[in-house]
Amino acid sequence: MKLRHFFPLLAGISLGASVSATSIDNHMPYLTLSDGSRIPQLGCGVWELNGQEAYKSVTESIKLGYRLIDTAQYYRNELETYQAVLDSGIPREEFYITTKLNPSNGSSEKNIRDSLDRSLKNLGGKIDLVLIHWPFSNDEMAWRIMEEYVQAGKFRSIGLSNYSPDALRRILKIAKVKPVLNQVELHPYNSKYPTVAEYEKEGVKVEAWSPLGAGRQGLLRDPVIADIAKAHGKSSAQVILRWDLQRGIITIPRSKNPAHIKENISIMDFQLSDEEMKQIDALNRDDALWDI
Q: Which of 30, 55, 75, 82 is catalytic?
A: 75
What number is the average pLDDT over the span 210-214?
A: 90
Cβ(49)–Cβ(43) below 8 Å: no
Integer CA distances (angstroms), 258 to 44, 201, 255, in order: 12, 37, 8
- Whether residue 89 lies inside any domain: the answer is yes
Per-residue pLDDT at 289 = 84
Per-residue pLDDT at 167 = 98
80 pLDDT higher than 50: yes
Residue 100 binned pLDDT confidence (cut-offs 50, 70, 90): very high
- Whether residue 233 lies inside any domain: the answer is no
What number is the average pLDDT over the span 206-224?
A: 90
- Whether residue 67 lies inside any domain: the answer is yes
* Cα(68)–Cα(42) distance, integer angstroms: 7
Active site residue 75: yes
29 pLDDT higher than 60: yes
Residue 217 binned pLDDT confidence (cut-offs 50, 70, 90): low
- Whether residue 192 lies inside any domain: the answer is yes
Q: What is the CA radius of gyration of the chain?
A: 18
Integer CA distances (angstroms), 90 to 86, 95, 162, 218, 252, in order: 7, 9, 32, 38, 21
- Whether residue 284 lies inside any domain: the answer is no
13 pLDDT higher than 60: no
12 pLDDT higher than 80: no
- Whether residue 106 lies inside any domain: the answer is yes
Per-residue pLDDT at 42 = 98
Q: Which segments are annotated as binding site?
A: 133
Q: Which segments are annotated as binding site for substrate?
A: 133
Mean of pLDDT over the chain: 91
Q: What percent of the chain has pLDDT over 70?
A: 90
**At 120, which CATH number?**
3.20.20.100
- Whether residue 112 lies inside any domain: the answer is yes
Cβ(79)–Cβ(51) below 8 Å: yes
Look up the domain containing 182 and give its range. 30-215+249-256
Chain-centre distance of CA 64, in angstroms?
17
88 pLDDT higher than 60: yes
Residue 6 binned pLDDT confidence (cut-offs 50, 70, 90): very low
- Whether residue 282 lies inside any domain: the answer is no
The count of structural domains within the chain is 1
What number is the average pLDDT over the span 207-215?
A: 90
8 pLDDT higher than 90: no
